[in-house]
Chain A
Amino acid sequence: MSTVRRWWRDLSDGLREFYVAPYRRTFARAQREEDDLFTLIVLSEALGVPNPASYYTIELLPLIHERVHEWHTRMGMDRSPLENVACC
């Protein structure tokens, strides 16, 4: 019985890999783009763009903090564009 179960699990895993792998990169890229947009919205006040939702997004700043360095380098800026968030 356990052999059958293992066989079934192996088959499921193999098929899942077969399903997921070719598109892994596409999804990772899509997620990164969404995260970048989210980061931009959260940082908008700090960047000088008025944000009507800043009352809510300001709470998220500490959560974004870790990602800032990666984000600004990816956006083509060597240094952090934020005066009050220093990262490098």
Chain B
Amino acid sequence: MNSLLLAVIGIAMVLGGYFLYSKYLASRVYRLDPEYATPAHTMNDGVDYVPTNKFVLWGHHFTSVAGAAPIVGPAVAVIWGWLPAFLWVTIGTVFFAGMHDMGALWASARNRGQSMGMLSGRYIGARGRSLFLVVIFLLLLMVNAAFATVIKNLLIATPTAVIPTWGAIVVAIVVGQMIYRWRMNLVLTTVLGVVALYALILLGDAVPIELPENSAAPFWLTMLFLYAGVASLLPVHVLLQPRDYINGVQLFIALGILYGAVLIASPAVVAPAVNQNVPEGTPSLVPLLFVTIACGAISGFHGMVSSGTSSKQLDKETDARFVGYFGAVGEGLLALGAIIAATAGFATLANWEETYAEFGNGGVGAFVSGGASIVNAGLGIPDGLSATILATTAILFAATTMDTGVRLSRFVVQEAGDLMGLRVNKIVGTVIAVGVAMGITFSMGAGGEGGLQVIWPLFGTTNQLLASLTLAVIAVILLQRKRNPLPALVPLVFVLIMSVYALIVQLGTFATNGQWLQLVLDVIILVASLWVAFEAAVAMVRAWRGPEVVEDAETAAAPSSAGGTDG
């Protein structure tokens, strides 16, 4: 199989989904109305609710949802061969992620821009809302541990990425100053920022930094958590905002480089379509594939972004199709790029099998080395430099996510403290948030060995659980309005079954390996999943039996505070 052909088929499939399926969803299922006054207009406050050009909004939405996860998941999952991962990403993007993201946007826009947490309270019940908080907390817990492990692995595997990784922090701080203090033109600032970032990549490529083998992993992990803790305490305009911005711009550049290289080089996919020769200890494809690739096929996190910020900026309701569905298409293409890099960028099948010698082993490392040889063949950029570029891209994403993740976990800790009547200050909250994440990471050994293959599927499962909640909310709304609920119901049932199945499979693994902390987490997530299934079923039966609901939230006068509460 030629990788160019694979890319063309994949792009055709997701674009077909956009032009055909999303059109059906827009006209028949969600019935998007160009005349509908969106919350951005009715509640315009110049802060949260601002009508925004659909292309700018898509840019935000896409860069908020795309991160390291759609790279890591597919890169781990190709161990079962490229075909299962390819099919799950493309079909998932078309029928799962696209409808989910677009649906979350629509549901929120029809409910005064409320966040998914509020909507699950309204459509699933009071317990739905608490359930939502539990799932969010679990997801945050997992994301910090998983991403620290991802970055640590990359820093060890690609020592040339060390300088750009840490140097990017300085670039971001300077960019922030250029914008706020010196009020420089943003086009100029952007160009300077990107040039500085690439200069650091060149420097890093010339000066690799390798640490002694046995101290590298604990050192990087400690540094990363320290960074995330400090960064999450800084005001956002100092570091997080410029960092996010440069990452967003860099994402488009990196995607351009990767797809451009595939287009020119069109290397053959060396990995088998379906790997009959999986290494020992690899869990079975069903159900683990479906939780290993969450972002890129369907991810609950998107519903948070859709309903948290994007829905409040929707200029016209019909824009939901472009912003939501096409946002998912963008992420699907990123995942597709990761699949191609991790399966086609190897000289021989033996090389590939060597990289994927153990489950969770290939991962981002395979994406980086595979992608690098494709970029080298296509654009003539030296192998090492290409690897540095790709590794830096992945690390920057994961690091920003960690920063935000720790920040959000701190809010949760502080809120939980408030509920218990304790006043938790910023620093204590951060120490608790970082401490728990470090505990999970180091519980697998001082080097966080094998962290990824344990934590990653758990992270995926939690993410799918969040997606199930959103899908349940959408299904209830569709049932209430007596419209075809199948576009939401089929993905919901599928995702829930796969998550529960995966949790049970992993439960066995943890028990045999004696990984008790992970076992406890697994049980908590399992209970939450069954709880979601139960609550969703009850709410759906109620909506199905109930009378047709035609009015929107504006006329229904739902008693709740305006605006979202998340973030």
Contact = CB atoms under 8 A, between A and B. Distances in A.
Interface of A: 8, 11-12, 14-19, 21-28, 30
Given A18-B56, A25-B47, 18 more contacts: A8-B187, A11-B187, A12-B185, A12-B187, A14-B53, A14-B56, A17-B56, A18-B248, A19-B179, A21-B52, A22-B64, A22-B241, A22-B309, A23-B241, A25-B48, A25-B567, A27-B236, A28-B48
Among all A-B residue pairs, the 9 with the closest Cβ atoms: A28-B47, A15-B186, A17-B56, A19-B245, A23-B241, A25-B48, A16-B186, A12-B187, A24-B47
Contacts of B52: 17, 21
B376 interface: no
B28 interface: no
B186 A12 contact: yes
A33 to B, nearest CB: 12
Nearest to B242: A19
A15 B185 CA distance: 10
B129 interface: no
Nearest to B248: A18
Contact of B237 (A14, A17, A18, A27): A27
Contacts of A27: 236-237
B60 A18 contact: yes
For A11, A22, A30, the residue with the greatest tally of chain B CB atoms inside 10 Å of its CB is: A22
B52 to A, nearest CB: 7
By secondary structure, the A interface counts as helix
Interface in B54-79: 55-56, 59-60, 64
Nearest to A19: B245
B449 interface: no
Give the interface residue-count category, chain B: 20 to 34
A82 B491 CA distance: 57
A73 to B, nearest CB: 13
Contacts of B473: none
Nearest to A27: B237
B241 A19 contact: yes
Nearest to B312: A25
B231 to A, nearest CB: 15
A51 B50 CA distance: 40
Interface string B229-247: 0000001110011101100
A12 B185 CA distance: 7
B90 interface: no
Contacts of B244: 22
Contacts of B179: 19
A23 B237 contact: yes
Contacts of A12: 185-187
B190 interface: yes
B60 A21 contact: yes
B429 to A, nearest CB: 17
A28 B48 CA distance: 9
A6 to B, nearest CB: 14
A2 to B, nearest CB: 18
Contact of B48 (A11, A16, A24): A24
Nearest to A9: B187
Interface in B378-397: none
